[in-house]
A and B are shown apart, each in its own frame.
Chain A
Amino acid sequence: MASVVLSEAEKVYIVHGIQEDLRVDGRGCEDYRCIEVETDVVSNTSGSARVKLGHTDILVGVKAEMGTPKLENPNEGYLEFFVDCSANATPEFEGRGGEELATEIVNTLYRIFSNESTIDVKSLCINPREHCWVLYVDVLLLECGGNLFDAISIAVKAALFNTRIPKVRVLEDEEGSKEIELSDDPFDCIRLNVDNVPCIITLSKIGCRHVVDATLQEEACSLASLLLSVTSRGTLTCMKKLGNGSLDPESIFEMMETGKRVGKTLHTSLQKILDKEESLGTTRQKVGFLG
């Protein structure tokens, strides 16, 4: 992860402020920075989204391609994740520097999405054992400003919401050979149901309190963080401890409660914004990358 060098005095300033529920930019311990979400930013994908969370900038593109179902699950499609830590994000990612972080993010995403209730993968199946939709989700880190996991999960959820998979029909000949026919209408597509897709909330332990959405400076003061994946109904689907420090069991229980609270609010605001953007339809003004 990108790191900043902080002096002892700056760390003490941050820690003392957080004890009083006052962070450096004036937020409370459970407040997020201003999040900007825009979908359908890249035209060559089946779905895309861009999320700006303070100085963290994530771009996610989803491409739907036809493939063969996995042997263990012949009636389901699947998702493949790929994370690219671009050298633009921070100079530490140059060359192979970002690979460890990318592997960690990919493993976390796989862990969350391997849960069968997250995405209805049975709807991605075209022909059992023969054809299915494979969704390749590519995450690009454009800028790293702290709290990567949260921003990535929001972007992945928005991109999956935006994904349009073309409808296909399977025609069977007399000999039994199957042919796949793409529907003529380019707007005839299936949409994914992202109601159960969780959002990641990272809670960093700083001093004796925990904060949501830590900036790079705050991450440098925190020894341990807890990563929670919260669904819109308040259930947790993934839990992971990050960082080189240890956590008290009581803090873990408190963090889980905070994560559930914050997660529910985040889901309602995100769904509201996505629905509003969807309702604007073609009249929406695209902000793009220079906004």
Chain B
Amino acid sequence: MALDHRRVPGPEESQAPLLYAVPGEAGTEVPGREAASLRPLLARAGLLSQAEGSAYVELGGGTKVLCAVRGPREAAEGRGRLLCEFRRAPFSARGARPRPGPAAAEALAPAVRLARYPRARLELTALVLQDGGSALAAALSAAALALADAGVEMFDLVVGCGLCRAPGPGGAWLLQPSEAEERAAAARLTVALMPGLNQVAGLLGSGQGGPPESWAQAVRLGLEGCQRLYPVLRRSLLRAAERRAAEAAQPPLASKSVT
């Protein structure tokens, strides 16, 4: 019988095998960590040639986010607009393909001087390549870096920080949780801060966080984390500017003819 090569011979609905796995007896012991310890962060701006501004942020432990900004482009309406698209790669999360992530344009809008771009639109695309915990926070930092790299006028950078609360009564809030901690968490929170102005640009939290005092403590911890990450992002912008200046100063290479 001839094979029908136009159809993919696979099941129509497939599930990740982890759903059927029986939990092992020896539970993976997560080594205790300090609640306020930050994961190492790598930030690099100005890496895509096709976008006006771009940034790549990686957190130690496997969260990778790539962000690109195009614009300002002409738009029909009177006010300047910032259009954000946050996407996850289909293989970014462990387990099933995830649903689309939350819109977080409201976290970036306070930082951008949209009044300086009338009748223009800025298009921002953030792509989470791998979700190893605190993906939204990393995406917000990458987005702000990309906007700054594109030369868009901004009041300040936006730094994002993720937190999660360990399960069980009286669980402590942990800064920048890993994927395992996030999955087991009782509550999650992402804070976005403009450190120079000390203004909270974005806040998104859900879960059993407890009374407002517990959430307030978490927000304070998150803001502190954002302040500590600020110098890293600023240095990456400076380095990107230096790289661009060096490339522009280099004389164009003469083409060699092959004999």
Q: Interface residues, chain A, CB within 8 Å of chain B? A: 71-72, 103-104, 107, 111-112, 114-115, 117, 224, 226, 234-249, 252-253, 256-257, 259-260
Contacts and interface: CB of A to CB of B under 8 A. Distances in A.
Contact of A252 (B106, B209, B219): B219
B93 interface: no
A114 B198 contact: no
Contact of B208 (A115, A226, A246, A253): A115
A248 B210 CA distance: 22
Contacts of B142: none
B159 to A, nearest CB: 13
A238 B219 contact: no
9 A-B pairs closest in CB distance: A246-B199, A246-B110, A256-B212, A239-B205, A241-B203, A244-B109, A111-B206, A238-B206, A247-B200
22 contacts: A71-B15, A115-B207, A115-B208, A117-B208, A236-B205, A236-B212, A236-B215, A238-B206, A239-B204, A239-B206, A240-B204, A241-B106, A241-B203, A243-B106, A244-B110, A246-B111, A247-B199, A247-B200, A249-B200, A249-B223, A253-B219, A257-B212
B215 A242 contact: no
Nearest to A223: B110
B111 to A, nearest CB: 8
Contacts of B197: 246
B150 to A, nearest CB: 19
B71 to A, nearest CB: 17
A238 B19 CA distance: 28
A157 B209 CA distance: 21
Interface of B: 15, 19, 102-103, 106-107, 109-111, 189, 194, 197-212, 215-216, 219-220, 223
Contacts of B103: 103-104, 107
B223 A235 contact: no
Nearest to A228: B212
A242 B106 CA distance: 7
Contacts of A239: 189, 203-206, 209, 215
A236 B204 contact: no
Main secondary structure of the interface of B (DSSP, over half): mixed
A115 B189 CA distance: 14
Given A241-B107, A248-B200, 9 more contacts: A117-B208, A224-B110, A235-B208, A238-B205, A244-B109, A246-B197, A248-B199, A253-B219, A259-B212
Contacts of B107: 241
Contacts of A104: 103
A7 B205 CA distance: 35
Contacts of B212: 234, 236, 253, 256-257, 259-260
A245 to B, nearest CB: 6
Instruction: Give the one of A234, A241, A243, A247 with max B CB within 10 A.
Output: A241
A114 B206 contact: yes
A239 B200 CA distance: 13
Contact of B202 (A236, A238, A241, A249): A241
A96 to B, nearest CB: 16
Contacts of B15: 71
Contacts of A240: 203-205
Contacts of A259: 212
